[in-house]
Chains A and B, each alone.
Chain A
């Protein structure tokens, strides 16, 4: 039953999943790497992104799905980034970024965001028209053109994030804080502001992936659970806080999951991914890519 076309479809589905997953997981990994905060509310930022694209395309600019989408691509990170900064200032800073307490605090944040959306947006799953709609006809089957655009956009955004982290001053601050917050502070790095902006950047990455995925799936107030779980798997397999490892793991798990889901069954794919986490934790506790720094 494993034929060429099925393999191709599996690869394409896997690539879409991997690209979006890489964005989400990168955000989670960044927050953990720099702040040592395990953000349980990360998936809710993905959901907020999807809700915002629905709002932009269906409510605000009903007639032009592409315009609404472009607007959301700008607005979702801004709005969600602000919410994340507020959460950092209101909650995380007050409890001194203590690792255990932040887990409980972000769990609370998860419920606050979820219930606020339920109260305002409602319990329905709503479809979002893709900004561009075309079908690519392959000899064996057709494929959504939008999904290919998602891969391209996700790669572009990953590239931009990489540039920010490696070339900009704030990127330098982030990397310094990640290596040793106290020393960084001694050298004049505004660590608190770095924390706020890292938390915001992590949330923005999640929001953007929500915007990209929403026209493929639908916007629903409970949609944050899956991306959160997969991101955790990716971050653990890639090595907590290790950005390169995160990207590699996202590609591995995204494509692997897609392939197994198409060729065998989606449940088996989730089982194997979780099993992989356990194996990595046993064999290479530091993740697939080990770095010299802690």
Chain B
């Protein structure tokens, strides 16, 4: 009896794999089918490089859902420059090697006009390098600060979301002024964490604060209590930015360790994207502050544009799937896909882009943009765009956990997060 039970899943998986392989090769064939070059009314093809599987899967799901919604809105508006938009999604498995292959596939098999969507830093780096080889405009939606530092190339843009450096600069005065001056940082032990460490240490000093200790935790860690003895006793604020599956355990153990008398907390919502604030174990966050790029709860930002965006994507007022309240969105990141698609629309229409041969004009047109106005196209808020660095800057939100919900208590201005980016891509040849 039990023997058969264990036997079953194996044969089932084999059948599923075969069926999946068949379907995949069918899809690949369809993609290779030659299509005539652009004619009026031919669809504009935009490739979404999505983290459908791998560690970024939760983000990937929402990036895709947001992009599908945005494309539907754009097509209902009459498309881009009169042409319908066709969204083609490829999974990069949140894997750098796969990212290069996906870029290749977009350029040679799908013949897309533009690619957008990678988020995780190592994947972004790989896609950015391929973008230059393939001369394919790539719009990252990643918060990575490398772009504005000049580490990528002229084909890579970030028009939909602010980067980490700007976010950290914008929230530092609030952290030092309202949470605590002697800060211990708890960060993941890789580049994303180091970005936070470097930018915040610098910003905190400028505000008269001090980073007492930095505790870097390997991203695969599952138990955290052992690290807490490294927190200096005179710490009055803990700055935490954790990603990965361990975050709920992290918060609960922090609560067990400190009880009610511990230092105050300031965190980045990255730790809790796709996680319900009312999850068991997160009670300890009550009263603490979190950075958000786009308020998860409707009450935090209820402009016309934000409401329109949330309805189109299918979010309830708590920032979860309106059909399944347990499915919490990654609202502080995914809006970037929406805004990116509308920035592409704006640039295509302004440049008179028709096809791959117009990419040079298209890129120069994007570089000439200086701002995006708040509205349905840019629901997160107005953006300032620094053309030579290919990076946009926007406002940030600081929310407090109140009764298991997030309440916006402070909104920064664009200027709070503005800095002089090092990059000048306009000097590079196209």
Contacts and interface: CB of A to CB of B under 8 A. Distances in A.
Given A86-B2, A127-B279, A216-B249, A112 B222 contact: no
A125 B246 contact: yes
A82 B1 CA distance: 10
A144 to B, nearest CB: 4
A266 B221 contact: yes
Interface in A93-140: 112, 115-116, 119-120, 123-125, 127, 129, 135, 137
A258 interface: yes
B6 A226 contact: no
B53 interface: yes
Interface string B1-20: 01101110110010000000
B228 A141 contact: yes
A125 B249 CA distance: 10
Interface string A128-171: 01000001010001111000000000000000000000000000
B259 interface: yes
Contacts of A218: 222, 245-246, 248-249
B3 A86 contact: yes
A267 B218 contact: yes
Interface stretch (B111-119, B250-258, B369-377): B250-258
A261 B47 CA distance: 45
Interface in B1-49: 2-3, 5-7, 9-10, 13
Nearest to B3: A86
A207 interface: no
B9 A112 contact: yes
Interface in B342-396: none
B229 interface: yes
A217 B258 contact: no
Contact of B13 (A115, A135, A141, A262): A115
A127 B280 contact: yes
B218 A266 contact: yes
Contact of A89 (B3, B227, B257): B3
Given A115-B13, A144-B253, A218-B248, 18 more contacts: A9-B229, A10-B226, A13-B225, A82-B2, A85-B2, A90-B3, A90-B7, A116-B13, A125-B245, A125-B246, A127-B281, A137-B259, A143-B256, A144-B256, A216-B249, A217-B246, A217-B249, A266-B226
Interface of B: 2-3, 5-7, 9-10, 13, 53, 57-58, 218, 221-223, 225-230, 245-246, 248-249, 252-253, 256-259, 279-281
17 contacts: A5-B229, A6-B229, A10-B226, A82-B2, A83-B2, A83-B6, A86-B5, A86-B6, A90-B6, A124-B58, A142-B256, A216-B223, A217-B222, A218-B222, A218-B248, A262-B226, A267-B218
Interface of A: 1, 5-6, 9-10, 13, 82-83, 85-87, 89-90, 112, 115-116, 119-120, 123-125, 127, 129, 135, 137, 141-144, 216-218, 220, 223, 226, 258, 261-263, 266-267
